[in-house]
Amino acid sequence: MLTKSFLLALAAAVLCSIQPARGQTPPNLPDGPGKEAVVSYCSGCHGLPRVVASGYPQAYWHTAVRMMLNFGVPIPPDQINLVTDYLAKNFPENPKPVANIIPGPARIDIKEWQVPIPGSRPHDPLATRDGAIWYTGQMTNRLGRVDPKSGQVKEYPLKTPLTAPHGLVEDKNGNIWFTGNNAAIVGKLDPKTGAVAEYKMADPNAKDPHSLAFDQSGILWFTLQQSNMIGRLDPATGEIKLMTAPTPRSRPYGIMVNSKGVPFVALFGTNKIARIDPRTMEIREYALPDAKARPRRLALTGDDVVWYSDFARGYLGRLDPATGQVTEWQSPGGPRSEPLRHRRFEGRRLVQRIR
């Protein structure tokens, strides 16, 4: 799995054009074949300090370079291996926390499917009602569908170049809705025809549409992480309404809708979870006890209690919106486990971690 700093680097690449970084003092890179090429091609979006702070195996660096190529970084063919080898030699994999294996009766089988284009960065898998698994090809401008029974993988190209699709959700008619990080759009794919409809943000400051969820009336709610906004889209009319979160730079991230049609949002840039009144669009924020908490994704149980993964501290948390009471449990992997998301399965909660 990708690490936190790697994801931040990729996010930076998604949100900027291929231009030289400004206001940064380049670090001193180790001498060796490929240094000049790395300085030329790996500093335009996120700067060399982020490269220096990274550390991955050769295969990961190969994937990272393929992602750069897929997203338009003009590395000449004869320089690709040079860049990859230099990065792998000088910035090898960083040590990881030791996994805490807990004995128990659970059995997990993992099956993998190779996507058609290397470096596509498959993201935000979605299980649909027909049993398929959908994913966003963030760096290849596609949505993909996997048939777990046959193993067939089919990809659908999007309309706007460099959309950088991120989140996915299925509507009642089987259409697949997605957010476009880089293009600042919400889109809809009809799997039967491959047709793509796009809904653009009216506000030029509304950037980085991120995660999305439908309420019971068919209204689509979504977050805009880097814009500090939350959006509401009516698919019947195409109307989009945007609201700004009260806390500056709170980075609205994961979003879920409870049984009463009320959206809840994880504010990843602060220690808060937001509740949105679907009628008035008023936002109420619940502060978590620890100021260092950074909730990233949410899950809701049948009693409308909100569960969150605290990515920064390594905790699973429970918020009761009716009382404001918060209960937390340390992840078995410790404070560096970086829990990203969790799901409810027949009363049990599964926490997926990403490093």
Looking at residue 20, what is its pLDDT? Answer: 38
DSSP run (H or E) holding 10: helix 4-14
Do 59 and 158 fall into the same domain? no
pTM of the model: 0.86
Do 65 and 207 fall into the same domain? no
Q: Which of 38, 67, 90 represents a domain boundary (last residue)?
A: 90
Sheet holding 220-224, edge to edge: 209-214, 220-224, 229-233, 240-244
Q: Which of 90, 111, 146 represents a domain boundary (last residue)?
A: 90
Q: Which of 90, 109, 131 represents a domain boundary (last residue)?
A: 90
Residue type, 182: N
Residues 38-52: tens digit of each pLDDT = 999 988 777 888 888
Which distant-in-sequence residues (6+ apart) come within 8 Å of 281 by Cβ? 232, 241, 243
Which distant-in-sequence residues (6+ apart) come within 8 Å of 35 by Cβ? 29, 86
Largest CA distance in the chain: 62
Total domain count for the chain? 2
Q: Is residue 167 part of a domain?
A: yes
Do 272 and 330 fall into the same domain? yes
**328-331 own/partner pairs: CB under 8 Å, 24+ apart:** 328/289, 328/290
Neighbours of 127 (CB within 10 A): 13
What is d(CA 131, CA 109) in angstroms, rounded to the nearest whole number? 17
Sheet holding 122-127, edge to edge: 122-127, 133-137, 142-146, 153-157
Neighbours of 36 (CB within 10 A): 12
Do 40 and 185 fall into the same domain? no
**pLDDT confidence band for 12 (50 / 70 / 90):** very low
Looking at residue 22, what is its pLDDT? Answer: 44
Do 142 and 267 fall into the same domain? yes
What is d(CA 73, CA 241) in angstroms, rounded to the nearest whole number? 34
Which residues are registered as beta bridge partners of 276? 283
Do 186 and 236 fall into the same domain? yes
What is d(CA 55, CA 92) in angstroms, rounded to the nearest whole number? 5
Minimal CA–CA distance to 157: which of 136, 146, 172, 141?
141
**Contact (CB, 8 A) for 259 and 217:** no
**Contact (CB, 8 A) for 210 and 167:** yes
- Indicate the length of the chain as a whole number: 355
Do 144 and 218 fall into the same domain? yes
**Contact (CB, 8 A) for 191 and 175:** yes
What is d(CA 331, CA 335) in angstroms, rounded to the nearest whole number? 7
Q: Is residue 231 part of a domain?
A: yes
Do 224 and 276 fall into the same domain? yes
Residues 273-325: tens digit of each pLDDT = 999 999 999 999 999 999 999 999 999 999 999 999 999 999 999 999 999 99
- Structural domain harbouring 278: 122-353
Q: Is residue 97 part of a domain?
A: no
What is d(CA 221, CA 230) in angstroms, rounded to the nearest whole number? 7
Q: Is residue 114 part of a domain?
A: no
Do 131 and 33 fall into the same domain? no
Q: Is residue 235 part of a domain?
A: yes
Helix axes 58-70, 4-14, angle to 10 degrees: 10
Phi and psi at 163, nearest 5°, equal -65, -35
Residues 139-169: tens digit of each pLDDT = 999 999 999 999 999 999 999 999 999 999 9
CATH classification of the domain holding 333 = 2.130.10.10
**pLDDT confidence band for 19 (50 / 70 / 90):** very low
Phi and psi at 95, nearest 5°, equal -60, 145
Residue type, 152: Q
Neighbours of 280 (CB within 10 A): 7
Residues 180-194: tens digit of each pLDDT = 999 999 999 999 999
Do 155 and 65 fall into the same domain? no
Which of helix, strand or coil describes residue 223? strand
Do 138 and 260 fall into the same domain? yes
Looking at residue 71, what is its pLDDT? Answer: 86
Q: Is residue 27 part of a domain?
A: yes
Q: Is residue 96 part of a domain?
A: no
Do 185 and 317 fall into the same domain? yes
Q: Is the pLDDT of residue 349 over 60?
A: no
Which distant-in-sequence residues (6+ apart) come within 8 Å of 291 by Cβ? 271
Chain-centre distance of CA 177, in angstroms?
Answer: 15
Q: Is residue 187 part of a domain?
A: yes
